A and B are shown apart, each in its own frame.
Chain A
Amino acid sequence: MNKFKRHVSGLSLVLALLMVLTACGGGSKGGEEASGTQASGGESANSGDTPEIVMPFFVLNGIPEDMQAVNDEINKITKEKIGATVKLMPISYGTYGQQTNLMLTGNEQVDLMVVGTWFNYTTQVAKNQLLPLDDLLAQYGQDIVKTLGDNYISAGKVKGKTYGVATMRDLADMYGLVIPKDVLDKYQIKTEDIKTFDDVGNLLATIKKNEPDSTPLVPFGPGDSLLDNYMTYDNLGDKLGVLPGDATDLKVVDWFEQPEYADLLNKIRSWYEAGFIMKDAATNRDSGLELMKAGRGDVLLTRIKPGYAEQESRLIGKPVVTIPLTQPQARTSSVANMMWGIPRNAKYPDKAMQMLNLMFTDKDVANLLAWGIEGKHYVVKSDGVAGYPDGVDQNNSKYNLNQGWMFGNQFLTYVWEGDSPDLWKQLQAFNDSAVPSKALGFTFDQTPVKTEVAAVQNVLNQYKMALEWGTVDPAKVLPEFRKKLKDAGIDKIIAEKQKQLDEWAASK
């Protein structure tokens, strides 16, 4: 009996704990709902039937405290201009893919959302989760088409229909290296002298010679191989079959079989063996900027654009310069990685497109989303750039989203203090100067070969990082890598890609 009593008391303890847990869950849910109704506009009382557009997007640095205040300000404008309110739904980047996936499969109302190849865009299209936007664009989105231009609009097309609309930002891909200015000065290296991959090797050799204990080259970020940040070709979405940079026709080739690829691997291997590269590069989990800040290295390769050097200088805390290594190229992947789409679950697709159009045309909406409320989160300085108001800085600002590139037309927003005042002009020129890839506008649908893609991805995961950081000897491992890719069916993927590309070209 005594034993039984003990069991019962144990059980009731567990039950009590469970109840506490469920109460907590219920509580937070209630909170969510409360904030939800709040978000639907404090004014919903007097305008019960104003449509509300639900608009999820991702945030990189945490959800700003004053999101709701900004949302309310935006609603004032949208109510007047498009007769709708929006419910901004910030979701942290790490969970965005999963959470929106749940919302879409769970049939929740989502009217306008960030889509793109970062978040399985082509699968969403193949599974019919997104609406074709062509009619809506023609009816409500004329300004979007005008701003982006046909080339960049076409990047959101799959099989002739548009499912995503990019934002006006840096839309071309250019790769280069980032290096602190004092390092260049110290060794009297001119930026003009560095143009090719080999030049980078020479630069690394110079630094290594003078600082034998250093490993000057660091990765840009976790999971990034060196060659992920040095692409001289159009990767056609996934690198499984690419279009070489100097391609004159639409012939898909296997990048990993190219002599150029083997050549690059040999160079990287020699760098690694000479101690130019951080030894843990292939398993690194830190951001390259953090590594640079901590003095672990001086050079990294990444995707660059006008204004990038200023941006990184601020983060690292000392002036850095960027040196381009490739020509800017406009590819589907550089445009389609982040777009806006209207899901099948949308309740107000018309209003959603109007909202998108508004983000492309309305300076106030664009600035609200990018920088917050004027006077509170930012002020416009005398030379027309925006900056923090007195007493506000990066750390205590209640709206430091800093994601102007995500909402509509970034060129409508103010340039931030410290950037060149004509930054948007430079970016526009950068976009215009980009050579469009022959396959710009082609999006590969992986679903017909998904079995092979899953297998090939696993092979890539096993070999790519180690080979492309020089940790293993390409003479021994590259043939093995190539053979496993063949076994996993990369040829079938390339054949399918070629077929889709030919169909796409024929339909153009």
Chain B
Amino acid sequence: MGTTLWQRTWRNVARNKAMYVMVIPGLLYLLVNNYLPMLGLVIAFKDVDFAKGIWHSDWIGFKNFEYLFKTSDAWLITRNTLGYNAVFIVVNFAFSIAIAIFLNEITSKFFSRFYQSVLLLPYLISMIIVSYLVFALLSQDTGMMNHTILPLFGIKEISWYNEPVYWPFILVIVNLWKNAGFLCVVFLAAIIGIDKEYYEAATLDGASKWKQIRLITIPLISPVIVMMLLLFIGRIFYADFGLFFQVPMESGPIMNATNVIDTYVYRGLMQIGDIGMSAAAGCYQSIVGFVLVLLSNYVVRKINKDQALF
């Protein structure tokens, strides 16, 4: 009664002082690290001249963006970036949810931990090292595929780094191998949090394992799945630079299958080193990511209001 919104807010703050104080470092971090640099976006629209300083440099409109859309590659890199990331999301989610469910069924604590660690290990390996692991498999002069595995099946040597057709598969597999472990841990944590009573009740009612998974586990972890999904969709226009740059070893003939926006920008600007153009690429990526998050959140909201992020 009689209390205004302001008073209520104040009372809330007073009551939860400790909590709000704990939020401050995080907020500051976000502000300094994520929001302040946004001012730098003006660079994308300027012809930077250090004699005049960034703020007083000339405005040049969208000229810095032109190179992104100029050639037929524009379509190619957009398709590759979005396509690969979409496939990565579907494949990685499917596999890691499945693995998480399997892991949860393992009763031996030792093995459960052991498998978790083994799965997580690739996530901790640097992409440069991964690229050499792949190279050790696929190299023409010394690779294991061409010299040990393929001869077993009587298949002729394949020039992996020159044949674009194989690369969508190679990249998806490498990405899955590297990242599934991490996602799996997230989902496993969610599954472990499910109350055991549901399963006990289901078993009493004679529900099969498969039914339990389909009707209990998945619905109960779906908020986590949706949240992770939205987070990943926000990054869908950012390609994993290490994966697309290091693993294909800069090989030209396969570039139609491996070039994504990040590698395109890097290669194009390596020589010029123009900060305006790189800022333009970053700006473009963030805007597409932002729009996609809004869109997918809107769709989630339509389907199930409780699971939307905002």
Q: Which residues of A contact B (CB under 8 A)?
A: 11, 15, 18, 97, 101, 104-105, 120, 123, 127-129, 215, 223, 238, 278-280, 282-283, 285, 344, 446-447, 450-455, 457-458, 461-467, 471-472, 484, 487-489
Contacts and interface: CB of A to CB of B under 8 A. Distances in A.
Contact of A283 (B22, B250, B272): B250
A286 to B, nearest CB: 11
Interface string B41-57: 00000001111100000
Interface in B108-141: 132, 135, 139-141
A471 B251 CA distance: 10
B71 interface: yes
A280 B271 contact: no
Interface of A is mostly: helix
B259 interface: yes
Contacts, number: 116
B255 A461 contact: yes
A382 B249 CA distance: 50
Given A461-B255, A466-B162, A285 B272 contact: no
Nearest to A463: B252
A466 B50 CA distance: 39
Contacts of B272: 120, 123, 446-447, 450, 453-454, 457
Contacts of B22: 11
Interface stretch (B2-10, B81-89, B262-270): B262-270
A279 B140 contact: yes
11 contacts: A15-B25, A128-B52, A450-B67, A454-B272, A457-B267, A458-B71, A462-B253, A462-B259, A466-B253, A471-B162, A489-B70
Given A283-B250, A487-B71, A455 B50 contact: no
B224 interface: no
Given A453-B271, A453-B272, A454-B268, A472 B162 contact: yes
Given A97-B273, A450-B277, A461-B267, A128 B251 contact: no
A223 B22 CA distance: 50
B240 interface: no
Nearest to B162: A471
B255 to A, nearest CB: 4
B187 interface: no
Contacts of A278: 141
A101 B273 contact: yes
Q: Which of B52, B252, B267, B268 has the most CB of A within 10 A?
A: B252
A283 B251 contact: yes
Contacts of A454: 67, 268-269, 272, 277
Contact of A461 (B141, B161, B252): B252
Contact of A458 (B259, B275, B277): B259
A465 B141 contact: no
Interface string B137-176: 0011110000000000000000101100000000000000
Contact of B141 (A11, A18, A128, A280): A280
A123 B161 contact: no
A280 B140 contact: yes
Contacts of A462: 252-253, 255-256, 259
A97 B270 CA distance: 11
Contacts of A97: 273
A219 B299 CA distance: 53
Contacts of A280: 139-142, 161
B252 A464 contact: yes
Contact of A127 (B50, B63, B259, B270): B50
A120 B278 CA distance: 14
Nearest to B63: A451
A223 B259 contact: no
B72 interface: yes
B66 interface: yes
B253 A455 contact: no
Interface in B286-309: none
A279 B141 contact: yes
Contacts of B73: 455, 458
Contacts of A466: 162, 251-253
Contacts of B58: none
B200 interface: no
Contacts of A471: 159, 162, 253
